[in-house]
Structure 1
Amino acid sequence: MRSANFSVLVSIACLHICPVEANDGSSFPDRLNTFGFNLLQKLETREHRNLLISPASIEIALGMAYAGASGKTAEAMSRALGFDHSSRAAALKELAGLGASLENPGPGVTLKVANAAWIDDSVHLNQRFSADITETFKTKLESIRFNDPGTILRINDWVSSATEGKINRLLQDPPSPPIFLANAVYFHASWKSAFPKQSTKEQPFYPHDGSNLKVKMMRQRSRFRYAKGQEYAVVTLPYVDDGFAMYCFLPDKGVDPLVEELKKSSWSDLSRTLRPTEGSVALPKFKFEYGAALKKGLTELGLGIAFDAHHAEFTRMVDGPPSLYISDVLHKTFLEVDEEGSTAAAVTGIQMKATAIMRPNEEFDLVFDRPFVVAIADEKSGTILFLGIIEEPKG
């Protein structure tokens, strides 16, 4: 677990995971965000390093797999991912709405979402599944031979193109037949108010182990949306399009209790506590990549049956044999934050294998000089696009 003294956070997560019900009155973005924080917590307990996931990318990729699931597998995926499980059509409608909400951002923001499916030419794709993923996710379908040495190059080339070269390779080894699903998200935006470069100075940063790390600390004084909770402070840094912002949470007692506290609130409720307040923000410049296999974390969140070669049901994905299951979910991300703005990218690959209350604030001064969390959010829908923990900011 993390040090109780030196931690900073920007996000929401939880230690004890319960199935997310889709009919509890919460919005789909709030349910998606809860899933993201839950998964972040599962990954965060295992490692003390910079961590970044894209809940939106993971949900969309798994949503494509869900479109081909049936029986108890579909039920488990719906519950764990926070889909409306009153019907498959309702869940796919929510996912289509998510995709639509991320289209056509305002001037100054680049946001690209791409989906693809590579299908071995030895299997017959179910027509309903094909229609669902092309209509709901605008998925590019490509028939290939998985035993062709060029297959891995084609998939990695797609990844690089979809992320503007920020993630050049998802696969190290050739994928296994018969189906590989992928989602990619690319985001780039300038701050509404840039950090003056002349104000960036070298300053110490204190990781969880108490060591001293020299970082390039940016500083800006302005009027920010800000709130002070019982155990943390939060400030948002808006991009040039007010529809997007980065949330930065600075905990008083460490990341773990902050994550537990934030998990109890919906993102929309939390956002409403913020008030325009004059203050100063010191934030380190940083750039890093992150990668993880998500099978274990997703299994702990209730998706275990989808990874079970003997019990998974993906009968809506292909006609006839073979029976399919998810062998793993691969996730890679990239995040760069500097004086001018932010660039972020994510890709999620799914290998299908055959089986067999806060008050108005006084002026503040936030210095992010210890581990913290960042979240880049779509302010219109309340959807978190990228969610991460910064342990050692390095430019």
Structure 2
Amino acid sequence: MIARKLTGILWIVVIFYPMLTMCQSRGETGVRGPLVYNKLKEVIKTQNRQRSQYQYQSQSQPHLPPPPPFIQQQNSQHEVPSPYVAPHIPFPLPPPPPNSEHNFQNDQIHQNSNLDSRYEERPPQSTGVSDGFSTRPPRPTKRPITTHRPPVLLDTRFDDRGSSAVRKTLLFDAQISEAMETFALTLLQYFSVQLSTTNFMISPFSIYHLLVLIAEGSSGSTYQELNSKLNLIDLSRTRDFQQYLNLALEQNTADVVLEKFAMLVTDQNRPIKPDYEKLIEKVYDAVVEPVNFSEVDVTTKKINAFVSNLTHGLITETVIREDLFKAQLLLLSGLYFQGKWMNVFNQSFTKTEPFYDSNGNQLGFVNMMFQRGPIAYAAVAELGCHILELPYATTTNTNEATGGIGLSMIIALPRKGLDLIEAINKIYQVGMNKIYKELYTSKVEYEDDEVEVHLPRFEINTSLDVKHTLEAFGITEIFDQSRADLSNINPQYFVSSMIHKTKISVDEKGTTAAAVTTSIFANKATPPKFHANKPFLFFIVDKATRLILFSGQYVKPELY
């Protein structure tokens, strides 16, 4: 049961916890050596090399970059147990020939298609993508556009050091954000293959955050494995960034609520090491709660009440009695979000419409919301997708150099014939910075133009054991009773399972319906249309830190 009805148009909650159980006692092994912090010059070079723009190659000499970790891990010695074996996908897929009939830039509206025939073709001067969508004609840039990726800008409220030290911190934080983005997109690849016909949402930030907590308690080869997969670089600097995030990601206004939490439920008869407890409380703002695991019913109720309170009653059952039978330590990482759109949907315009697959075959019906206004929109040929940004209302000051600071939902709608797995692979190759850049350019060049947005109203509940996915990713030792070295927590512990629970609801609410009126239908040239009536990807991002807080896909139509 949901304790109360929220007034925000979108609310999200995610719970993620690994279950640690006792293994045979053994001594501490391995010593974590300090990692040398890269010189500023090396950091800049690394950043310039990362996320280089994905270029289409000629048909005669197709260029296939090396596959992402998703495919490389399929042939490793740690195979994903059935039914989690992901089918082989030829990542990355060859790009279409520049002059072929499938060239994204030259896609035309197919009048005989049940998906595209309803849309009016744009005037001849329009040269953009028209895969069932009207597009903008090119126009001169109104003001200079930055062509490089600006560094992640930290909120000056938290900068109390000299300018030189701040500059180094900014660059390093950008490097950590880059590592977290790669991790987030890789996870999305895995889950999109495993759950190709299912609506789902994950919080890569919460998963990453909890793995960092485990890394803090690990030693030896277990730590080295986590370090290489999470790209922790320098753990002391990672701690600095986490402390910044403790402040930067906390928002509680009338329009936006974003709350991050972490909790360790320990067995009072088998305490964890005091140094580890102090570290996670001070640096990661975690709550340590000792309980008696032998009192299963009492402990279950206590944990569920704690999480229900932190998630404002949205998730009332985090664990069940059976989860605690073998558990000796429970780690929880959660993220709660409630936000109102900056540009709201008028509920009176919502109507039932058909929803199609990527090839134009009808799958069912959805309640389609509608709004029209000056919204950032771009058709990105390198991605084969139409990209839309729906910002959330916020009181945070914006900064145009970074495209604005705040929380936004970014929706990627693949062109006809391109499935979501292919689209995710393209985003992985190009990087989110390409999306941020295109959206920012759209804001500058077309700041007064309106876009028609059609988006399904939807709700997604997801509960996953991510253990098998992380094993396929190459994180294996923490799950192996004979190899796990969590000696900085307790040398007898290993991770037996990791449960990831999320919930998201998207609707029109958030402000009064009068904010959008019928006057939007003025006699103007037909505006671009973004019609999400086929499978799409979505991301909830914090633009100040460039972090992907949530990501998911919508492929199965439901009337919500």
Q: Same fold (TM over 0.5)?
A: yes
Shift of residue 37, structure 1, vs aligned partner: 1.6
- The answer on whether the counterparts of 2:262 and 2:287 sit within 8 Å (CA) in structure 1 is yes
Equivalence for 2:496: 327
- The answer on whether the counterparts of 1:30 and 1:267 sit within 8 Å (CA) in structure 2 is no
Distance in 2 (alpha carbons) for counterparts of 1:207 and 1:164: 35
Equivalence for 1:159: 307
- Rg comparison, structure with higher value: 2
Shift of residue 363, structure 1, vs aligned partner: 4.8
Equivalence for 1:50: 199
Shift of residue 105, structure 1, vs aligned partner: 5.4
Equivalence for 2:462: 290
Equivalence for 2:374: 223
Equivalence for 1:355: none
Secondary structure at 1:224 match in 2: coil
Q: 1:300 to 1:26 in 2, by over 3 A?
A: farther
- The answer on whether the counterparts of 2:377 and 2:389 sit within 8 Å (CA) in structure 1 is yes
Equivalence for 1:193: 343
Question: Which residue of the other structure, out of 236, 256, 273, is the alignment partner of 2:421?
Answer: 256
Unaligned runs of 5+ in 1: 1-11, 343-361
1:26-45 equivalent positions in 2, closer than 5 A: 27-45=175-193
1:281 aligns with 2:429: no
- The answer on whether the counterparts of 1:109 and 1:187 sit within 8 Å (CA) in structure 2 is yes
Equivalence for 1:82: 231
Deviations 1:154-183 (A, max 9, x none): 112222111112222122323233211101
Deviations 1:335-374 (A, max 9, x none): 10011259xxxxxxxxxxxxxxxxxxx9521110111111
Distance in 2 (alpha carbons) for counterparts of 1:297 and 1:382: 24
Equivalence for 2:209: 60
Give the alignment's TM-score, normalised by structure 2.
Answer: 0.60
Q: 1:51 to 1:254 in 2, by over 3 A?
A: same
Count of residue correspondences? 356
Shift of residue 101, structure 1, vs aligned partner: 2.0
- The answer on whether the counterparts of 2:363 and 2:556 sit within 8 Å (CA) in structure 1 is no
Distance in 2 (alpha carbons) for counterparts of 1:301 and 1:26: 23
Question: Which residue of the other structure, out of 521, 541, 545, is the alignment partner of 1:377?
Answer: 541
Equivalence for 1:130: 277
Deviations 1:13-50 (A, max 9, x none): x973179xxx9995222221221121121122122101
Q: 1:145 to 1:15 in 2, by over 3 A?
A: farther
Distance in 1 (alpha carbons) for counterparts of 2:357 and 2:309: 34
Secondary structure at 2:430 match in 1: coil
Distance in 1 (alpha carbons) for counterparts of 2:245 and 2:386: 29
- The answer on whether the counterparts of 1:290 and 1:333 sit within 8 Å (CA) in structure 2 is yes
Distance in 2 (alpha carbons) for counterparts of 1:316 and 1:378: 32
Indicate the structure with greater strand content: 1
Equivalence for 1:147: 294
Shift of residue 393, structure 1, vs aligned partner: 4.2
Distance in 2 (alpha carbons) for counterparts of 1:204 and 1:197: 18
Secondary structure at 1:314 match in 2: coil
Secondary structure at 2:474 match in 1: helix
Secondary structure at 1:303 match in 2: coil
Unaligned runs of 5+ in 2: 1-50, 52-65, 73-170, 395-404, 512-525
Equivalence for 2:81: none
Q: 1:169 to 1:15 in 2, by over 3 A?
A: farther
Deviates more, 1:282-291 or 1:43-52: 43-52
Equivalence for 2:149: none
1:17 aligns with 2:69: yes
- The answer on whether the counterparts of 1:15 and 1:41 sit within 8 Å (CA) in structure 2 is no
Secondary structure at 1:228 match in 2: strand
Shift of residue 225, structure 1, vs aligned partner: 1.2
Q: 1:25 to 1:198 in 2, by over 3 A?
A: closer
Equivalence for 1:168: 316
Deviates more, 1:23-32 or 1:302-311: 23-32
Matched AA of 2:391: P
- The answer on whether the counterparts of 1:287 and 1:393 sit within 8 Å (CA) in structure 2 is no
Equivalence for 1:243: 406
Q: 1:15 to 1:287 in 2, by over 3 A?
A: farther
Matched AA of 2:205: A
Shift of residue 197, structure 1, vs aligned partner: 1.0
Equivalence for 1:182: 332
Distance in 1 (alpha carbons) for counterparts of 2:555 and 2:434: 27
Equivalence for 1:352: none
Equivalence for 1:7: none
Distance in 1 (alpha carbons) for counterparts of 2:488 and 2:335: 26
Distance in 2 (alpha carbons) for counterparts of 1:382 and 1:65: 23
Deviations 1:173-196 (A, max 9, x none): 232332111011110111011111
Equivalence for 1:366: 530
Q: 1:15 to 1:280 in 2, by over 3 A?
A: farther
Matched AA of 2:188: L
- The answer on whether the counterparts of 1:15 and 1:260 sit within 8 Å (CA) in structure 2 is no
Equivalence for 2:477: 305
Secondary structure at 1:192 match in 2: coil
1:340 aligns with 2:509: yes
Distance in 1 (alpha carbons) for counterparts of 2:437 and 2:179: 17
Equivalence for 1:9: none
Distance in 2 (alpha carbons) for counterparts of 1:89 and 1:123: 28
Give the alignment's TM-score, normalised by structure 1.
Answer: 0.84
Matched AA of 2:335: V
Deviates more, 1:54-63 or 1:247-256: 54-63
Distance in 2 (alpha carbons) for counterparts of 1:368 and 1:336: 16
Shift of residue 334, structure 1, vs aligned partner: 0.3
Distance in 1 (alpha carbons) for counterparts of 2:509 and 2:543: 20
Structure 1 segments of 4 or more deviating over 6 A?
A: none
